A and B are shown apart, each in its own frame.
Chain A
Amino acid sequence: MKLVVAIVRTEKLSDVLMELFKAEVRGLTISSVQGHGGELEHVETYRGTTVKMALSEKVRIEVGVSNHFVEPTVHAIMRGGRTGSVGDGKIFVVPVEKVYRIRNGEEDQEAVTPVRSVAAAR
C-alpha cells in the first residue's frame, strides 16, 4: 500500500476531488495547510504596515491506496490540480507499513479497498 500526499491550490480543490471521484478513488482526507513552494510571494499593506506573505494557503490531500491504484490516483490529482503556473503543488507517494480499518479490524489490502456499496454493507 501507498499513501499519496498531495499539496494543491485551494481554488483547484473542487477540480481535484471531481477527478478523484471520476477515477473511483473514494477514501481520502483533506486539511488546510500553509506552505511555500517557490512561487512569488505577494505583498499586503495594512495602514502603514507592509508585509510579504511568504506562505500561501494550500490544501493537503491524503489518500491511502493499494499499489495498482497509485497511478490512477496520481494522474487524477494532476489532471484536476494543474494550472501550469508555479504554485500548483506537489504529490508525494509514501510507502505504508500497515493499515487497519477501525470498524472491523480489516488489515492492509482489504482496509484500503473501498466498501463497494454502503447499502450492501448494512
Chain B
Amino acid sequence: MNGADTSFILVCTALVLLMTPALAFFYGGLVRPKNALNTMMMSFTALGFVGVAWALLGYSLAFGGEAGLLGTLAYAGLRGVGLEAQGTIPHVLFMAFQGTFAIITAALISGAVVERMRFSAYLAFLTLWTLAVYSPVAHWVWGGGWIAAMGALDFAGGTVVHINAAVAAAVAAIVIGPRRDYARLAQLPHNVPFTLLGAGLLWFGWFGFNAGSALGANASAALAFTTTLLAPAATLVVWTLIDLVRNQKATAVGVATAIVVGLVAVTPAAGFIGPAAALALGGLAAVPSYFALLWRARTRLDDSLDVVAAHGIGGLVGALVTGVLASRTWNGTVDGLLFGNPAQLGIQVVAVLAVIGYSAVVSFVLLKLVALFVPLRAEAVDEGVGLDVSQHGEEAYTTGHGAILISPDASASALSAAALSVEGGRA
C-alpha cells in the first residue's frame, strides 16, 4: 500500500467520474432543444444505473479471477472487496476507479440513439450491456483474461472503452433505425457552447482516465499525462487545418470533435509511447475520423452524434498505432513495429477484431431481448413533440408562460377546472 498512489488514484477517480456529466454537455449541445434534457439524462442516468450494476455484479465479472473468458461471482455485491491492497492502492478504490470507466463507456453509446429511443428501453439496455459486454471485455484486457495473456497493449481502454462502445452504438443505431427527420430535415446543434464546454471538461477528466490507468503516482502516469496533453493538441491543429483548407472556416464543433478524437486515439497508447510519437498519433488520427464523419452523414446510418467516427475510428487508429509506436525506451517493457517488434501489431489487430465481433453480436442480442419487453423507439408523435416533454415531463428551456400550478390537494380548483381540459390529441 502506498499513500502517494492512493491519493493520486482518489483524485483520478473523481476526474473520470466528471467525464460523464461532461459527455452530457458534449452530446446535449449537439441535439435539438426539444431533446436536450433527454440526451443529457442518457449520460447522467448511467452514473446511477451502471454504477449500481457495477457494484452488484459488473466488477466481479470483470475482476473476480484470472480465468480466460470471464471473472467469477467472488466479488458479487462487493463481498470481499475491502481495504486490503490491490496493487499499491486499497481494493475498494480500485473498484471505484474501474467503476467510473464502466459508467462513461456505457454512456458513450447514447450518442447513436438520441432523439428517438424510448427512455425505459435505454435504461434496460444500458444496464444489461454493462454486465454482458463491458465487464467481460474489461476482464479480457485488464482482468487477467485471454487478451491480456496474449500481450495486447491497451493502456487506458482504447479497445475496452472506445471501440467497444462504438460498435454497440453502430448496432443500436441500425436496430433502432434512423430518426424520422433524418436526412429529410436539417437537425442542427442547438448549443455549440455546451459542446465546447463538454469537450473541455472531457479533456480535463481524461487526465485522470489515462494517467490514473498507471494505477500509481509514478513515471508511467507522468508519461500518460503528457501524451494526453499532446495528442489531442495535434489532432486539433490538423483538424482545423483540414477545415481551413476545405471550407476556409475553422469550425467550433470541429474543434470539440477533434479534441475527443485525439483523446480517444491516445487512450490505448498513453503510457506506451513517447511524447513525440503522441504528437504524430494525434495528428494522424484527425484524418480518418474527419472523413468518416463526412461519409457517414451521407449514409442511412443515423449514428446521430458520430460515436463510430469519433470513438470507433479514433479507437481503431489508437489501438493499431500503439502497436507501431510503442517504445521500450518509454514504457520499459515492450516495443512496437517501428522499434523492431512487428508481432505487436498483429496482437493489436486480433484484440480489436475480437472486441468488435463480441460487442456487435451481444449488443444486438441485448437490444432484441429488451425489445421483447418494451419497444425500443419512442412513439412517433412523441418523437415529433420532443423527448424532453414526452419521456421526462420537463423542458430544458421554458418560459413558464401558460403554466398552471396544480396544488396537491386542489384537483378541483378553479384554475385546473378552467375550460382548458378539452379532449383531443397531444399538445
- Chain A interface (Cβ within 8 Å of chain B)? 9, 11, 14, 34, 36, 38-46, 49-56, 83, 85-87
Contacts and interface: CB of A to CB of B under 8 A. Distances in A.
A65 B420 CA distance: 34
Given A42-B389, A44-B394, A45-B394, A34 B402 contact: yes
Contacts of B185: 14
Interface string B387-417: 0010001110011111111101000000010
Contacts of A40: 421-427
Contacts of A54: 402-404, 418, 420
28 contacts: A11-B384, A11-B386, A14-B186, A36-B402, A36-B420, A38-B422, A39-B424, A39-B427, A40-B422, A40-B426, A42-B426, A44-B395, A44-B398, A46-B394, A51-B403, A53-B398, A53-B404, A54-B404, A54-B418, A54-B420, A55-B401, A55-B402, A56-B427, A83-B384, A85-B381, A86-B424, A86-B425, A87-B424
Contacts of A85: 381, 424-426
B80 to A, nearest CB: 39
A39 B185 CA distance: 25
A52 B389 CA distance: 12
B385 interface: yes
Interface residues of B, number: 31
A41 B421 CA distance: 7
Given A51-B400, A54-B402, A87-B427, 19 more contacts: A9-B384, A11-B34, A11-B386, A34-B401, A36-B420, A38-B422, A39-B422, A39-B426, A39-B427, A40-B421, A40-B424, A41-B427, A42-B426, A44-B393, A44-B403, A49-B405, A52-B404, A85-B381, A85-B425
A22 B400 CA distance: 36
A53 B403 contact: yes
A53 B402 contact: yes
Contacts of A39: 422, 424-427
Contacts of A86: 424-425
B426 A52 contact: no
B385 A11 contact: yes
Contacts of B389: 42, 44
Nearest to A9: B384
Residue among A36, A44, A56 having the largest count of chain B Cβ atoms under 10 Å: A44
A87 B423 CA distance: 11
B21 to A, nearest CB: 19
A87 B401 contact: no
Contacts of B423: 40
Nearest to A49: B405
Interface string B225-266: 000000000000000000000000000000000000000000
Choose among B408, B416, B426 the residue with the greatest number of A CB atoms under 10 Å from its CB. Answer: B426
Contacts of A51: 400, 403-406
Contacts of B186: 14
A69 B399 CA distance: 37
Contacts of A38: 422, 424
B393 A42 contact: yes
A50 B34 CA distance: 19
Given A11-B384, A36-B420, A53 B406 contact: no
Nearest to B408: A50
A49 B389 CA distance: 15
A56 B424 CA distance: 14
Contact of B427 (A46, A50, A53, A83): A53
A34 B403 CA distance: 12
A62 B416 CA distance: 33
Contacts of A53: 398, 402-404, 427
A79 B190 CA distance: 27
Nearest to A56: B427
A41 B417 CA distance: 13
Nearest to B187: A14
Contacts of A50: 405-406, 408
A44 B381 CA distance: 17
A42 B388 CA distance: 12
B332 to A, nearest CB: 54
A84 B405 CA distance: 30
Interface string B363-382: 00000000000000000010
